Amino acid sequence: MTTPQGTRVLVADDDPDIRDLVDFKLSQAGYTVQAVPDGLAAWEAFQEEAPALVILDVMMPGLSGIDVLRKIRDSETPTTPVLLLSAKSRDTDVDTGFAVGADDYVIKPFSPRELLHRVNGILSRAR
Query: What is the pLDDT, as a whole number, of residue 4?
Result: 83
Q: Which residue has the higher pLDDT, 6 or 7?
A: 7
What global pTM score does this model have? 0.96
CATH of domain 8-126: 3.40.50.2300
Query: What is the pLDDT, as a whole number, of residue 3?
Result: 66
CA dihedral (115, 26, 82, 67) in degrees, to 10, reads: 100
Query: What is the pLDDT, as a whole number, of residue 64?
Result: 97
| Contacts made by residues 96-104, CB under 8 angstroms, sequence distance 24+ | 96/66, 97/58, 97/66, 97/69, 100/66, 100/69, 100/70, 100/73, 101/69, 101/70, 101/72, 101/73, 102/69
Domain boundaries in the chain? 8-126
CA distance 36 to 81: 17
Rounded mean pLDDT of the chain?
95
Type of residue found at 42: A
Residue 2 has pLDDT above 80, yes or no: no
List the single range of 13-17, 34-38, 93-97, 123-127 with lowest mean pLDDT: 123-127
